[in-house]
């Protein structure tokens, strides 16, 4: 079974797992290369990636030959950009720093049509890509709240009880930082690992999807085995810089192996 934008919910409900390609470079060319690589799903990062709206639209278009779902991490829980990216054809949104149930409700409000929310009607590109868009929108569009602070950890059950969320997404670096540790995408601190397990557990009980940011391919394998629905291979910038550095070193002399593409 292939993961597509049309059946993302069904795919994961059927137990499917996914490797999520993470796009931080503001370029249709690298976006298309990411899509050609064959990732199961693709995310354009408008928060920490160097990407703004107009380039994000170009990137969505450049990836349009691929059936993989195109997700967008928006910069912040702001309704203007959330709605613009859905109208532009993203079938999923990841929203950073959802720390309370109120913040989760605001996110749902911005991303779901009435009566569930108050998303404004005008799916200018989305409706051309997906027939019957409005009627199917609540099934089609996957909305993920990031659980990535100590406060969110404590509030996780209330957050996940908010109707209209599709799932949660964990940012281990921010989570660790807010708990007083060094930010890391390959966390080793027992408290952070326990927090991650707790969030996953709560998501399972709430019937929500769960994804997580990963700093290496090995970490992606690990989280999928742990039970996450998807792990993100972050980031294109990190992997690009790492590949270039290794190639340069090989051209000059013996190779050096680095194990991670960065911490964000």
User: What string marks each residue from 165 to 184 as x (binds its own copies by CB under 8 A) or -?
Assistant: ------x-xx--xx-x--x-
Instruction: Name the residue with tokens 């209330």.
Output: 158
- 243 binds its own copies, rule: CB under 8 A: yes
Nearest distance from residue 198's CB to its own copies, in Å? Answer: 19
Active-site option among 4, 27, 28, 48: 48
- 116 binds its own copies, rule: CB under 8 A: no
Q: Let me know: does 220 contact 19? Beta carbons within 8 Å.
A: yes
Return the C-alpha torsion angle 250, 255, 256, 259, nearest 10: 90
DSSP H or E segment with residue 231: strand 230-233
DSSP helix/strand/coil, 214? strand
Span 115-134, contacts to Mg ion by CB under 5 A: 120
Tell me, yes or no, if 213 is annotated catalytic: no
- Contact of residue 25 among its own copies, Mg ion, none (CB under 5-8 Å per partner type): its own copies
Separation CA 2–CA 20 (nearest Å): 13
- Contact of residue 62 among its own copies, Mg ion, none (CB under 5-8 Å per partner type): its own copies
- 102 binds its own copies, rule: CB under 8 A: no
Nearest distance from residue 246's CB to its own copies, in Å? Answer: 8
Q: Let me know: does 211 contact 230? Beta carbons within 8 Å.
A: yes
- 49 binds Mg ion, rule: CB under 5 A: no
Q: Which of 21, 26, 75, 171 binds Mg ion (CB under 5 A)?
A: 171
**Secondary structure (H, E, C), 122-191:** CCCCHHHHCCCHHHHHHHHCEEEEEECCHHHHHCHHHHHCCCCCCEEEECHHHHHHHCCCCCCCCCCCHH
- 186 binds its own copies, rule: CB under 8 A: no
Local structure of residue 5 (DSSP, 8 states): G
- Contact of residue 193 among its own copies, Mg ion, none (CB under 5-8 Å per partner type): none
Q: Which residues bind Mg ion (CB under 5 A)?
A: 120, 148, 171, 174
Q: Catalytic residue positions?
A: 48
């Amino acid at each position: 079974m292939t993961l597509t934008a049309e059946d993302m919910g069904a795919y994961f409900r059927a137990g499917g797992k996914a490797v999520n390609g993470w796009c931080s470079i503001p370029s249709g060319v690298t976006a298309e290369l990411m899509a050609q690589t064959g990732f199961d799903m693709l995310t354009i990062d408008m928060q920490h990636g160097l990407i703004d709206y107009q380039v994000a639209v170009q990137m969505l278009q450049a990836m349009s030959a691929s059936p993989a779902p195109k997700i967008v991490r928006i910069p912040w829980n702001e309704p203007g950009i959330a709605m613009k990216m859905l109208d532009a054809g993203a079938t999923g949104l990841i929203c950073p720093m959802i720390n309370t149930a109120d913040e989760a409700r605001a996110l749902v409000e911005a991303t779901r049509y009435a009566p569930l929310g108050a998303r404004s009607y005008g799916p200018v590109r989305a409706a051309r890509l997906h027939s019957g868009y409005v009627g199917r929108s609540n099934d089609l569009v996957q909305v993920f709240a990031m659980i990535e602070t100590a406060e969110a950890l404590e509030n996780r059950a209330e957050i996940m009880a908010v109707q209209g969320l599709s799932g949660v997404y964990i940012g281990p670096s921010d989570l660790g930082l807010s708990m007083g540790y060094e930010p890391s995408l390959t966390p080793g601190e027992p408290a952070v690992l326990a927090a991650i397990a707790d969030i996953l557990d709560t998501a399972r009980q709430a019937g929500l999807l769960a994804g997580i940011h990963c700093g290496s391919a090995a970490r992606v394998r690990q989280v999928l085995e742990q039970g996450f629905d998807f792990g993100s291979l972050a980031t294109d910038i990190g992997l690009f810089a790492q590949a270039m550095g290794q190639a340069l070193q090989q051209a000059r002399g013996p190779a050096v192996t680095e194990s991670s593409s960065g911490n964000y």
